[in-house]
Structure 1
């Protein structure tokens, strides 16, 4: 039996982390650079953070993306939880194959195809029904939810299949209805999966460019669209400052989520007094 080489493993891991995080660290460092040239260092300065604070276009786009991301995350968790529960617990019913395929389709269909199909749908609905009158926040939100529901459903389905049904069976034996068992017993047990699905949905929504490009309209330009349009004209030091702020917010969010998840896991592992 060949023993693993620990030095080789550590070296490989170090190289992998270097390629992952070195560009991010360099971006953070150069966000404090005073030079207008992104790759040339001059001196430490908060110049581009001040410029970012006065950039109304970027700030408005960031708030819009944040609002859509929050709405998408909550809606995706609400819909995806029920979808994953059906996949895990309802067994094979008539139409199960079609239902499963519809849940998994957004995972494999390219976003370009999804964006075109939704765009054509909204255009035809606007002609026939008069709604939506124009594309904007609502149409972007629908597209993002359609994409993120599948991810939440898969995460929840995997978690529910691992659950021990003894607690749920005991609650039902004591007279609890299936709906009450779901909200009182099942939901707390799958809370970590719900948090993971929420964070993933929020990240996908904030980061989405393709669907937003097809489904946006006047006055509904999201942050990725603004950043992409500016980067095409050349690198802007403001992008480094903006990216650093987002990295900080995401880092704090991930640490907080992990803290609460670990604390909840520790409470469940403690013996009942």
Structure 2
């Protein structure tokens, strides 16, 4: 124990402290100034909830938030379903014809810039509308497709790493007792993957909710997501209302992370028989 504490030299502690200050001082200042009554972002006058009340009267922000929430939720579930199958195949079925192409297609969205993905999907939808009449206009569905394409790869990587850690003897025992492979997957494998599925859903939800580039290419009139609204307003100048909105997001994300960690810890204890 003493050796562990001795390894933290003053230089290391100071470096770590500077790093945390660099990361969290801007966030703390943003939260503090969200309770500022002044219209100037960097000039403090007195405590007020003025900008939180202004959020409730901002119809554009509320509509954009609702759209982003619907797309992110749908993208999270679709990405978990598709990414789970993709990750399971990558982990368990490593040798089949075309495995290299399959792996490349699954991991491509991780390395291809979002700008390229957005342009490619935009051209695809334009050509599809020309020849098939769908989509008639870009909106929620086209944004959802783009987000699922991006997020599915992240979920597949998470599930793949978790599947490789599983003990295959448990599934083999179930097969020996007469269970079908499909029943083994849903009854045994999926419960053991619950933590990876929760982590994958949270990551997919966050990536979708926070996306700007793909949404900018795939959105149309009347389908502007919240990040696009925020980006367009910030370009015109800093607004204290954005500080209040960011503070609400920080609070929601913090609560969500704490709840998710507790759920995952409880699931881990149950699996370990604790």
TM-score by length of 2: 0.96
Find the aligned partners of 1:135 and 1:99 in 2 and give their Cα distance: 29
The structure 1 segments of at least 4 consecutive aligned residues displaced by more than 4 Å after TM superposition are none
Q: Give RMSD over aligned pairs.
A: 1.0
Find the aligned partners of 2:270 and 2:152 in 1 and give their Cα distance: 29
Report deviation, 1:17: 1.6
Q: Report what 2:108 is aligned to.
A: 105
Equivalence map 1:188-267=2 (5 Å): 188-267=191-270
Equivalent of residue 79 in structure 2, options 76, 81, 100: 76
Instruction: State the Cα deviation string for residues 108-155 of structure 1 (Å, max 9, x = none).
Output: 000000000000000000000000000000000000000000000001
Instruction: State the Cα deviation string for residues 206-253 of structure 1 (Å, max 9, x = none).
Output: 110000000000110000110010000000000000011111111111
Q: Report what 1:163 is aligned to.
A: 166
Report deviation, 1:5: 3.6
Q: Is it true that 1:62 corresponds to 2:65 in the alignment?
A: yes
Find the aligned partners of 1:85 and 1:119 in 2 and give their Cα distance: 30
Find the aligned partners of 2:86 and 2:13 in 1 and give their Cα distance: 41
Q: Report what 2:136 is aligned to.
A: 133
Report deviation, 1:20: 1.5
Find the aligned partners of 2:110 and 2:34 in 1 and give their Cα distance: 35
Give the count of matched residue pairs.
269
Q: Report what 1:96 is aligned to.
A: 99
Q: Report what 1:52 is aligned to.
A: 55
Report deviation, 1:12: 2.4
Report deviation, 1:6: 3.7
Report deviation, 1:4: 3.0
Report deviation, 1:11: 2.5
Aligned partner of residue 236 in structure 2, secondary structure: coil
Report deviation, 1:92: 1.4
Q: Report what 2:17 is aligned to.
A: 14
Instruction: State the Cα deviation string for residues 32-64 of structure 1 (Å, max 9, x = none).
Output: 000000011110000001111100001110111
Give ranges in structure 1 of 5+ residues lacking alignment: none
Aligned partner of residue 76 in structure 1, secondary structure: helix
Q: Is it true that 1:29 corresponds to 2:32 in the alignment?
A: yes
Report deviation, 1:97: 0.3
Find the aligned partners of 1:159 and 1:187 in 2 and give their Cα distance: 11
Report deviation, 1:8: 3.2
Find the aligned partners of 1:205 and 1:60 in 2 and give their Cα distance: 17
Instruction: State the Cα deviation string for residues 154-175 of structure 1 (Å, max 9, x = none).
Output: 0100110111111111111111
